[in-house]
Structure 1
Amino acid sequence: MSRYSLTTRVATPEDAPVLAELWNDSLRRADRSEQNADLELVVKGAEASPEQRVVVVEYDGQLAGAVYLRITTLSPLNLEPCVQAIHPRVFDQFRRHGVGHTLMEAAAAFAEDNGILHVVAAVPHASRDTNRFMARLGIAPVAMYRIAPTTLLRSRISPQRSPVGADSGRTRVLAARRSLRRARAERLALPEA
């Protein structure tokens, strides 16, 4: 049985089409050319910044996985520095070949090179295998990051309001019934003379 070689390198803009395929469920909804353009910008931005890096792992010369690394703080409230490993992802055909370990090794090396004590991984909550892998590496869950379209959130937190004029007949009937109940209660409360 021959062993294939794993190579770690920094991504280049030419990797964008393969990265778009790898991260397709994490990108904005657009056609593939726009997603490729987005990833070219991400890769170029990472190349220009000492606090960001897009790392790819090649398995026998083929791009097998990637991770976006960035230096930030644990949260906007906790200013302890950390390295975020955003969407470490491996193509299905390259799983169980050490690619994921190599990606996380790159994250640890990036943190060590910058004197940072913590690595945070952002992985899809529904990916059972990925979450188990992270747990085996000692990366514990800390928070659940949730998302919703603004319109959905607005509809759930604001009371439903009827447009002016809609249901005005029903509103008048309810108001008339309340008035009748009040009048009846007042008559019953009056002492008889």
Structure 2
Amino acid sequence: MSRAPIVVSAVEPDDADCLVGLWLASRVEQGASLDAASRHAADGRVTSALRRPETRAFVAKRDEVPLGFVILSERMFGLSDASDVSIDQLYVVKDARRQGVARQLLATAIAHAERAGSERIVSHVPAQDREANRFFARLGFGSSVIRRVTTTGALRRKILGGADVSPFDSVLRRRRTLRAHGRTRSA
């Protein structure tokens, strides 16, 4: 007996329930607590993201059972003339992996990029996710940049060397210094 086909459909902000459930599963799988992920979903993070004009979401289903999703964004990087389609998130539930779900979602990404006139598709994959990195490498995605992230406050402290530091940051720095001195004396 053959399986039912995988059907990929666009997700609208007002009808994001199936996406929210999959997004929660992806967050938990990435190491977030279910409680924290649920709070983010309840405060409308998913639906507000879907309301951004450059963001599109698609869900793959088989027999009306959600199996995975892809979140796409159209972005202009740097001084480029054309926007690229960016795969911000791609997720397939564990039981549905290796069944063509991700390929169907990526085929939808290709169609979206072609409609948008984009010549490139960019994928954001966490460096520590070996399985996802291998998957995208097999499909021809190459590494182009290493994205390093910091907080605004941390960068301010490094750049300004302590000048223009908030009182809160001053207290934190003083506590850390005192703790460090305490450790060296007791050692």
TM-score w.r.t. the length of structure 2 is 0.71
Deviation by residue 1:68-127 (Cα, 9 ceiling, x = unmatched): 112222x22333321111111111111101111111111100011122211111122211
- 1:33 is the counterpart of 2:43: no
Structure 1 residues 99 and 93: CA distance shift in structure 2, 3 A: same
AA of the residue aligned to 2:73: R
Contact 1:85 1:121 in 2 (8 A): yes
Q: Secondary structure at the match of 1:108?
A: helix
Counterpart CA distance in 2 for 1:134 and 1:89 is: 13
Counterpart CA distance in 1 for 2:3 and 2:19 is: 28
Counterpart CA distance in 2 for 1:31 and 1:129 is: 23
Question: What is residue 97 of structure 1 aligned with on the other side?
Answer: 99
**4+ aligned runs moved over 3 Å, structure 1:** 149-163
Unaligned runs of at least 5 residues, structure 1: 168-193
> Which residue of the other structure, out of 52, 56, 61, is the alignment partner of 2:55?
52
AA of the residue aligned to 1:136: R
Question: What is residue 6 of structure 1 aligned with on the other side?
Answer: 6
Question: What is residue 64 of structure 1 aligned with on the other side?
Answer: 67
Contact 1:10 1:54 in 2 (8 A): yes
Q: Secondary structure at the match of 1:85?
A: strand
Counterpart CA distance in 2 for 1:87 and 1:26 is: 15
Q: State the Cα distance separating 1:61 from its structure 2 match.
A: 2.1
Q: State the Cα distance separating 1:34 from its structure 2 match.
A: 3.1
Question: What is residue 125 of structure 2 aligned with on the other side?
Answer: 123
Q: Which of the pair has more CA radius of gyration? A: 1
Q: Secondary structure at the match of 1:106?
A: helix
Q: State the Cα distance separating 1:55 from its structure 2 match.
A: 0.7
Equivalent pairs: percent with the same residue? Answer: 26
TM-score w.r.t. the length of structure 1 is 0.69
Q: State the Cα distance separating 1:66 from its structure 2 match.
A: 0.8
Contact 2:19 2:59 in 1 (8 A): no
Q: Supply the RMSD in Å over aligned alpha carbons.
A: 3.0
